[in-house]
């Protein structure tokens, strides 16, 4: 018995789809183990056999889509290689190390090379897993529709892995800096820069634990997060992925995030999601703030940026990602010309030898896989079927064994050989739960930062103008690392406008958008204009960096006209990075920075802050420049070096309730 969905059954299923005269019931009879859907789309549902047993005080859960179950000494095991015998790597009583060495002895060079492949799964070819044994798969739009279908599809892929020669499960990963955000119906958390404004490492750990719970329930066991970079140049387009420009804050929060994801400080286990800390050795100081340019360091600043990763290693992250788009000239050698994830100096000299790291090195995407592997990388981002053959042909077999050993150890420690499958009931209870919603909202509320606060009064019962197109832009509440409105944005997500209407009553709200002609010359006393300004999510010109940090001209014009009309102007600022806020400050009575508060609960958190329903206590995670000249004079690699900023690092006006 090979699997619940074997090759013959899949052939039959496809044949049946071409015979229009067959009824739905007939299709189901002729294709056992596969549930046909009414729209004749292929189903991903697999039937699972579950075995639960106790061993030395631990509960061992075996799940399979069709493998034979072996019994020895009163215990049960999966026959992964289908030979009818209990082999050491199938024996969960042995250590991960013992199981790894046995499995390595049974693997061909092709098996080992395939384990190093980390493909981006936007579609599915069954042979990638049933025949090739691809080791890692990045979840993307293939899984996006709903949490239920995502779980079914992941189970289906794992059932294909069971059909392979050795039955090695795949590890699903996700670019998950804000939660399990590439799947619909999940809890999309505030961005890291938002959490940096809270100053609360304990809260970061709680949110990372939420991420762990939801990802694990969905079958995703590797998170390409947290980001251990420092936001030392405000132009860099990935500032939102960092915790700000303060090294001590970043250390505490990165450690907290790893601890939450991996469910402890001692490395990974059966309840962990692997963390992948990035981007080694610190990708914040891009030349000119433009992503992909050479990293700028001197002796002092290199030690500073590296210190975040040194702190991370104290809690044993499962993997670390060197940066894939920048060289590190400061280090010399092959780091001058090669991207960090293709550099032996970066990966071996600094990460392995200097820092003593013995875990998995995961590359970024878009690279020369052969060069990266020979330089020290273990898992190759974007590596696919053809690359496996090239790897076998061009790489020393001993290197393949060395790299594969780390990957198998991680899989055994995760417990995925025993149970790689999702559970529909767990998905329903855990993913997108009300408890997680409330914690996401708490975090977004705590991050709200007041930098100007004049002439305020309670908004309750007032006539309110909501101004700016961003007020209706749900996507702008989170960074770009998520599903978008094109792939099915989380349906519960509200815009700031929606949340204000809900809180104030729609009859008390007038939406103006970006049309200046809708702004009157004057308004009745007491009228408040809530103006949502800043940067739309994922907009970076040039890519991942910007030549200017000035607010768009149309936003500045709206603010000036509103100020002249005599309304009370409250500016709500959505932004990834430290913009030049002088014109916003000049035209506003109050300025409230909300960063990227999160699609799930961010809008409601903003409404709570505006209407005095929560205290405001956030502090700036970076300096706010007064002019672009100040930005151009600051160093890319040095934190807090803007002289006479408009608002300094750590500034924030605390109020018990806005307007009261």
Asked if the model's pLDDT at residue 4 lies above 50, the reply is no
Q: 37-95: per-residue pLDDT in tens?
A: 333 345 679 999 999 999 999 999 999 999 999 999 999 999 999 999 999 999 999 99
Asked if the model's pLDDT at residue 489 lies above 90, the reply is no
Q: What is the pLDDT of residue 526?
A: 87
Concatenated DSSP letters of 210-246: HHHHHHHHHTEEEE---B------TT-TTGGGS--S-
Decide: 199 and 256 in contact? Cβ < 8 Å.
no
Q: 504-530: per-residue pLDDT in tens?
A: 999 999 999 999 999 999 999 889 999
pLDDT confidence band for 272 (50 / 70 / 90): very high
Residue with tokens 């292929």: 42
Q: What is the pLDDT of residue 163?
A: 97
Q: 94-122: per-residue pLDDT in tens?
A: 999 999 999 999 999 999 999 999 999 99
Count of beta carbons in the 10 Å neighbourhood of residue 340 = 30
Q: 135-151: per-residue pLDDT in tens?
A: 999 998 899 889 999 99
Q: 329-381: per-residue pLDDT in tens?
A: 999 999 999 999 999 999 999 999 999 999 999 999 988 999 999 999 999 99
Find, among 539, 641, 648, 531, the residue nearest to 594 by Cα: 531
Concatenated DSSP letters of 248-314: HHHHHHHHHHHHHHHTSSS---TT--EEEEEEET----BGGG-TTSPB---HHHHHHHHHHHHHHHT
pTM value > 0.95 = no
Q: What is the pLDDT of residue 493?
A: 79
What residues have CB less than 8 Å from 427, skipping those under 6 apart?
Answer: 147, 148, 151, 217, 218
Q: What is the pLDDT of residue 350?
A: 98
Q: 200-250: per-residue pLDDT in tens?
A: 999 999 999 999 999 999 999 999 999 999 999 999 989 999 999 999 999
Q: What is the pLDDT of residue 2?
A: 37
Where is 629: in which H helix or E strand?
helix 628-633
Q: What is the pLDDT of residue 52?
A: 97
Spatial distance between the Cα atoms of 530 and 292, rounded to a whole number of angstroms: 37
Q: What is the pLDDT of residue 245?
A: 98
Mean pLDDT of the chain: 91
Asked if the model's pLDDT at residue 22 lies above 50, the reply is no
Q: 162-194: per-residue pLDDT in tens?
A: 999 999 999 999 999 899 999 999 999 999 999
Find, among 374, 381, 380, the residue nearest to 398 by Cα: 374
Find, among 29, 30, 36, 35, the residue nearest to 48 by Cα: 35
Q: What is the pLDDT of residue 5?
A: 42
What residues have CB less than 8 Å from 62, skipping those under 6 apart?
Answer: 50, 51, 52, 53, 69, 76, 77, 78, 418, 419
SS3 call for 71: strand
Count of beta carbons in the 10 Å neighbourhood of residue 406 = 19
Give the rounded percent of residues in the chain with a pLDDT score beyond 70: 91
Q: What is the pLDDT of residue 42?
A: 58
Q: Which residue has the higher pLDDT, 253 or 486?
A: 253
> Residue 263: what are its φ and ψ, rounded to 5°?
60, 45
Q: 539-595: per-residue pLDDT in tens?
A: 545 445 567 899 999 999 999 999 999 999 999 999 989 999 999 999 999 999 999
Spatial distance between the Cα atoms of 251 and 309, rounded to a whole number of angstroms: 8
Mean pLDDT, range 376-393, rounded to an integer: 94
Q: Which residue has the higher pLDDT, 29 or 291?
A: 291
């Amino acid at each position: 018995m090979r699997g619940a969905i074997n090759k013959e059954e899949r052939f039959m299923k496809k044949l049946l789809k071409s015979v229009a005269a067959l009824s739905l019931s007939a299709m189901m009879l002729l294709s056992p183990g596969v549930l046909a859907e009414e729209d004749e789309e292929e189903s991903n549902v697999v039937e699972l056999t579950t075995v639960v047993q106790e061993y030395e005080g631990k509960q061992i859960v075996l799940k399979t889509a069709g493998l034979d179950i072996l019994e020895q000494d009163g215990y049960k095991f999966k026959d992964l290689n289908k030979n009818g015998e209990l082999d050491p790597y199938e024996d969960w009583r042995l250590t991960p190390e013992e199981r790894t060495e046995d499995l390595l002895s049974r693997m061909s060079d092709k098996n080992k090379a395939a384990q190093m492949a980390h493909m981006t799964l936007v579609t599915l070819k069954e042979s990638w897993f049933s025949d090739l044994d691809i080791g890692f798969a990045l979840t993307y739009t293939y899984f996006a529709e709903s949490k239920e279908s995502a779980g079914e599809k992941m189970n289906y892929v794992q059932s294909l892995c069971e059909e392979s020669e050795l039955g090695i499960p795949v590890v699903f990963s996700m670019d998950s800096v804000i939660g399990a955000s590439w799947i619909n119906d999940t809890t999309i958390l505030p961005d890291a820069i938002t959490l940096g404004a809270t100053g609360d490492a304990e809260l970061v750990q709680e949110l990372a634990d939420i991420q762990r719970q939801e990802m694990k329930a969905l079958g995703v066991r590797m998170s390409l997060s947290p980001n251990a970079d420092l936001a030392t140049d405000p132009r860099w387009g990935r500032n939102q992925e960092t915790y700000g420009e303060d090294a001590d804050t970043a250390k505490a929060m990165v450690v907290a995030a790893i601890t939450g994801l991996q469910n402890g400080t001692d490395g990974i286990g059966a309840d962990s999601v692997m963390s992948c800390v990035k981007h080694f050795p610190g990708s914040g100081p891009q030349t000119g703030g433009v992503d992909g340019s050479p990293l700028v360091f001197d002796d002092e600043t290199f030690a500073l940026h590296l210190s975040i990763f040194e702190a991370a290693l104290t809690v044993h992250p499962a993997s670390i990602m060197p940066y894939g788009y920048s060289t590190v000239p400061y280090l010399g050698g092959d780091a001058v010309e090669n991207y960090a994830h293709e550099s032996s100096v970066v990966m071996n000299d600094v990460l392995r030898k200097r820092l003593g790291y013995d875990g998995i090195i995961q590359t970024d995407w878009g690279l020369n896989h052969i060069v990266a592997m020979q330089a020290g990388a273990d898992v190759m981002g974007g590596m696919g079927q053809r690359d496996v053959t090239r790897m076998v042909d061009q790489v020393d077999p001993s290197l393949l064994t060395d790299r594969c050993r780390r990957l198998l150890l991680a899989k055994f420690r995760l417990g995925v050989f025993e149970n790689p499958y999702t559970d529909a009931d767990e998905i329903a209870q855990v993913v997108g739960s009300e408890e997680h919603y409330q914690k996401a909202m708490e975090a977004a509320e705590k991050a709200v930062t007041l930098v100007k606060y004049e002439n305020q009064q309670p908004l309750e019962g007032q006539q309110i103008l909501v101004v700016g197109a961003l007020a209706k832009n749900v996507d702008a509440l989170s960074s770009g690392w998520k599903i978008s409105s094109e792939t099915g944005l989380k349906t519960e997500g509200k815009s700031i406008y929606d949340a204000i209407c809900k809180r104030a009553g729609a009859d008390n709200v007038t939406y103006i958008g970006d049309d200046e002609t809708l702004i009157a010359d004057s308004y009745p006393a007491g009228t408040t204009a809530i103006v949502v300004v800043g940067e739309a999510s994922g907009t970076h010109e040039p890519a991942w960096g910007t030549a200017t940090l000035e607010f768009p001209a149309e936003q500045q014009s709206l603010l000036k006209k509103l100020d002249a009309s005599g309304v009370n102007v409250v500016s709500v600022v959505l932004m990834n990075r430290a913009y030049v806020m002088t014109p916003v400050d000049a035209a506003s009575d109050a300025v409230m920075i909300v960063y990227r508060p999160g699609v799930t609960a961010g809008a409601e958190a903003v409404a709570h802050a505006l209407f005095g329903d929560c205290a405001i206590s956030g502090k700036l995670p970076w300096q706010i420049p007064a002019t672009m000249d100040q930005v151009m004079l600051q160093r890319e690699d040095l934190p807090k070096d803007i002289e006479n900023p408009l608002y300094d690092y750590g500034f924030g006006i605390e109020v018990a309730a806005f307007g009261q």
